[in-house]
């Protein structure tokens, strides 16, 4: 018994200083390492619980895109009287900003409720002056993705082109610089990394997923297959 | 007895095949960037989703049968014996 106690004592004498040294080392290392804080998103807005910007599932066609804000331009083309091109700052500074809590529902079965901040697509189109025969608004993304919406849907609803979500500038994986907030439409209409807005008279135009079997109208109250 | 074994075997294998298809089509929806080229473009995201959705009810039926078929058959058999 006495021998055993002695062995334990020796073990304690050896292990204790090691443990203390390890603890001190860990604390010192932790203090020395300066961690950069990420942007702080809000998770509640006017009594509504919001999802996190990390609750999205990455399902874009070519993965997250990195867009250089210095060389970025947003073009408004097609059936418009004034084809226009904006820099990122011009888009932000020349237009009224709006906030709205909207839920994105993905065909995969998940959904996220986010406070979106952006400008109305309607305001951008008004500056470009759509021609009378323009029926469809085709959105083009940096990664080649496209989707379309009827011009009436854009003009009659407050459809945002968001640059912030939950009070945080869109991160690259969420569609920086701009994501469409196509409320009451399935998630594949919420195009990210928008680079061009084209007006067209082709009512039969189908975007990336629409040409692969998903509904062109994409109304949330209907299924996501079909027309 | 032979019929019971045949039924059990059929349900077992059908359920196995269905679970495998269910898994593959599930990946076809969420991991379409991998599954589509692996299947040489045959299993697209929309096709995978159509198959996946259409398999929900058969999957539930087969699963219930898989769990309850033998106990139910045993119950009916014992009831029949008792009545005789």
Domain ranges of chain B: 2-83
End-to-end CA distance of chain B: 19
Shared domain for A17 and A79, answered yes or no, is: no
Mark whether A81 and A119 lie in a shared domain: yes
A30 with A93, same domain? no
Cα separation, A85 vs B50, in Å, equals 40
Closest Cα in chain A, distance from residue B33 (Å): 7
Whether residue B77 lies within 8 A of chain A, CB to CB, comes out as no
How confident is the model at residue A10, as a pLDDT? 67
Tell me, yes or no, whether A223 lies in a domain: no
Residues A31 and A84 in one domain: no
Which residues from chain B sit within 8 angstroms of residue A61, using beta carbons?
A: 33
Beta bridge partners of A149: A137
The predicted structure's pLDDT at residue A30: 58
**Vertex B32, ends B27 and A54: CA angle to 5°?**
85
Over residues A51-75, the mean pLDDT reads 95
Q: What is the mean pLDDT of residues B6-28?
A: 93
Is the domain of A18 the same as that of A69?
A: no
- Check whether residue A80 and residue A22 sit in a common domain: no
Q: How far does chain A reach from its first CA to its final CA, in angstroms?
A: 85
Distance from CA of B67 to the nearest CA of A (A): 28
Q: Which residues contact A9 (CB under 8 A, 6 or more apart)?
A: none
In a domain, A221, yes or no: no
The answer to whether residue A182 sits within a structural domain is yes
Per-residue pLDDT, averaged over A4-12, amounts to: 66
Cα within 13 Å of Cα(A162), Cβ side: 28
Q: Is residue A71 located within the same domain as residue A139?
A: yes
Closest residue on chain B to A214 (Cα): B46
Q: What count of residues does chain A have?
A: 227
Residue that wins the pLDDT comparison between A140 and A226: A140
Find the mean pLDDT for residues A13-33: 68
How many C-beta neighbours within 10 Å does residue B8 have? 15
Asked if A214's CB is within 8 angstroms of B46's CB, the reply is yes
Q: For strands A98-105 and A168-169, give the pairing.
A: unpaired
Instruction: Report if residue A224 sits inside a domain.
Output: no
Residue B81: the pLDDT is 83
Which region among A22-31, A131-140, B55-64 has the lowest average model confidence (pLDDT)? A22-31
What's the number of domains chain A is made of? 2
Contacts of A212 (CB under 8 A, 6+ apart): B44, B45, B46
Subunit contact A212:B44, Cβ cutoff 8 A: yes
A59 contacts A108 by C-beta, under 8 angstroms? yes
Span A144-159, average pLDDT: 97
Domain that holds residue A86: 44-212
For residue A57, the chain B residues in CB contact (below 8 A) are: 30
Q: DSSP code of A34?
A: P
How far is C-alpha A70 from the chain's CA centre? Answer: 20
Please state which of the ranges A2-6, A102-106, A170-174, A194-198 shows the lowest mean pLDDT. A2-6
A4 and A97 fall within a common domain: no
| Tokens read off for A224 | 């996501």
Of the listed ranges A39-43, A148-152, B71-75, the one predicted with least confidence: B71-75
Q: Is the CB of residue B39 less than 8 Å away from at least one CB of chain A?
A: no
ipTM, two decimals, is: 0.76
What phi, psi does A218 have (nearest 5°)? 55, 30
Count CB neighbours of B24 within 10 A.
Answer: 16
Q: Provide the shortest C-alpha distance from residue B57 to chain A (in Å).
A: 17
CATH number at residue A124: 3.90.420.10
d(CA A96, CA A162): 12
pLDDT value of residue A1: 47
């Amino acid at each position: 018994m006495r021998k055993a106690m002695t062995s334990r004592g020796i073990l304690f004498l050896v292990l204790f200083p090691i443990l203390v040294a390890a603890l001190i080392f860990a604390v010192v290392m932790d203090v020395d390492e300066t961690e950069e804080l990420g942007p702080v998103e809000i998770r509640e807005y006017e009594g509504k619980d919001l999802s996190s910007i990390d609750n999205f599932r990455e399902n874009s066609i070519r993965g997250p895109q990195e867009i250089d804000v210095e060389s970025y331009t947003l073009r408004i083309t097609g059936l418009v009287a004034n084809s226009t091109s904006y820099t990122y700052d011009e888009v932000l500074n020349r237009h009224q900003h709006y906030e709205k809590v909207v839920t994105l529902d993905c065909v995969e079965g998940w959904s996220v409720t986010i406070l979106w901040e952006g400008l109305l697509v309607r305001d951008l189109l008004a500056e470009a002056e759509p021609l009378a025969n323009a029926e469809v608004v085709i959105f083009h993304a940096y990664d080649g993705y496209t989707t379309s919406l009827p011009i009436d849907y854009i003009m009659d609803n407050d459809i945002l082109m968001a640059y912030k979500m939950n009070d945080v500038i869109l991160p690259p994986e969420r569609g920086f610089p701009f994501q469409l907030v196509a409320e009451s439409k399935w998630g594949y209409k919420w195009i990210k990394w928008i680079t061009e807005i084209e007006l067209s008279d082709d009512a039969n135009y189908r975007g990336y997923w629409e040409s692969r079997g998903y509904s062109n109208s994409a109304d949330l109250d209907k299924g996501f297959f079909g027309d | 007895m032979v019929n019971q074994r045949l039924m059990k075997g059929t349900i077992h294998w059908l359920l196995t095949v269905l679970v495998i298809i269910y898994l593959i089509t599930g990946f076809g929806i969420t991991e379409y960037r991998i599954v589509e080229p692996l299947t040489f473009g045959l299993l697209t995201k929309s096709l995978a989703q159509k198959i996946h959705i259409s398999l929900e009810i058969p999957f539930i039926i087969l699963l219930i049968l898989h769990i309850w078929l033998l106990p139910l058959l045993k119950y009916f058999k014992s009831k029949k014996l008792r009545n005789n």
